Amino acid sequence: MIQLKGIQKQYGTGAAQVTALKHIDLTVNKGEIFGIIGHSGAGKSTLIRTINLLERPSAGQVLIDGVDMTALGTGRLQEERRTIGMIFQHFNLLTSDTVAENIAFPLRLAGQSKAQVAARVQELIGLVGLDGHGDKYPSQLSGGQKQRVGIARALATNPKVLLCDEATSALDPQTTQSILSLLLSINKELQITIVLITHEMQVIRSICDRVAVIDGGEIVEAGPVTDVFLKPQHPTTQEFVAQVEGNLNESLTVKNYAAGERTMIRITYIGEQTYEPVLFETMSGCNVPFVILQGTVSRLKETPYGQLVLELRGAEPEAIRAVELLRSRGLDVEVLRHG
């Protein structure tokens, strides 16, 4: 669906040149929600804006459904851009226009008739949950309502791709969740491909299928959210995961870890196994006492998962046998410490 090949972006020239993106290669599949997460200044805004060429890359190709956007002339590029909607962090609404007029704006630019515009606007107002607000002005709306207008406007021309540039960062947590739920329903109902950037791992965890982590203009880690979230490899990814999961190394330090014949392990459950008594059944059969030190049960989009940190009390051979039994039940078990 979307392919970024060898994307580079530099600003300035000579000694003043700054490299914002370095050799980016990414593929976004049709119909998925793909997240790009990074700190401020990491290059994520530049990256998402290369997809519709609001930022033209210094090198590389942007292909959407096989069409090389970087090779198009001005007229053809404008046509292709109509197939890409964009939602902005600060809404970018026309303050002197009503909700209905804001949504109608791209339809009028596309040359649709008044009847077509009116019908489409009413359809979109209902889709984003703004019934009864069509005649209001942006100043009369809450932040969440303004973003719903932005979403409706982005969907006006039936795009096949929806880009979200920090679409929830200006909203409170409750409103953020309602907007994420709306994006998820739009993705399911319209089968529209969504690419979003954020600095919040909670956003990625809530709705994304896959994620790329960007740091210093480079993709440092990428993959399915379940893999990246549950087994982060890069320090930047680990930092983002700690935003929502806490930091094991901080809460279970060597200082407060009891020494002796004790083994600390981390068990990861994914899917319906999360809700089954696998731990009880397995540990009952191997007669190794244990203490739960830390645990969580939650969801990654629609996939349930759980993580438990246990202290196994007993000699190392018994602890190893317990670990092997847990793994034989299909659990992911990592030995964190033995002492």
Residues 157 and 32 placed together within one structural domain of the fold = yes
At residue 315, the pLDDT reads 83
Boundary residue ending a domain (212, 243, 274): 243
CATH code, domain with 269: 3.30.70.260
> Looking at the predicted structure, is the pLDDT value of residue 120 above 60?
yes
CATH code, domain with 59: 3.40.50.300
CA-to-CA distance for 107 and 113, rounded, in angstroms? 9
Residues 308 and 193 placed together within one structural domain of the fold = no
CA-to-CA distance for 217 and 219, rounded, in angstroms? 7
Boundary residue ending a domain (185, 212, 243): 243
Overall domain count for the chain: 2
Instruction: State pTM to two decimals.
Output: 0.87
CA-to-CA distance for 249 and 253, rounded, in angstroms? 6
Boundary residue ending a domain (243, 264, 281): 243
Tell which residue, 262, 259, 215, has the closest CA to residue 239. 215
CA-to-CA distance for 291 and 297, rounded, in angstroms? 17
> Looking at the predicted structure, is the pLDDT value of residue 251 above 70?
no
Residues 218 and 260 placed together within one structural domain of the fold = no
| pLDDT mean over 210-231 | 95
Query: What is the extent of the structural domain holding 324?
Result: 252-338
Residues 202 and 266 placed together within one structural domain of the fold = no
Residues 43 and 181 placed together within one structural domain of the fold = yes
Q: pLDDT tens digits for 154-167? A: 999 999 999 999 98
CA-to-CA distance for 179 and 129, rounded, in angstroms? 11
> Do residues 237 and 228 make contact, with C-beta atoms less than 8 angstroms apart?
yes
CA-to-CA distance for 166 and 44, rounded, in angstroms? 10
Average pLDDT across the chain, whole number: 90
Residues 165 and 105 placed together within one structural domain of the fold = yes
Residues 317 and 263 placed together within one structural domain of the fold = yes
CA-to-CA distance for 323 and 38, rounded, in angstroms? 35
User: What H or E segment, with its residue span, contains residue 303?
Assistant: strand 303-313
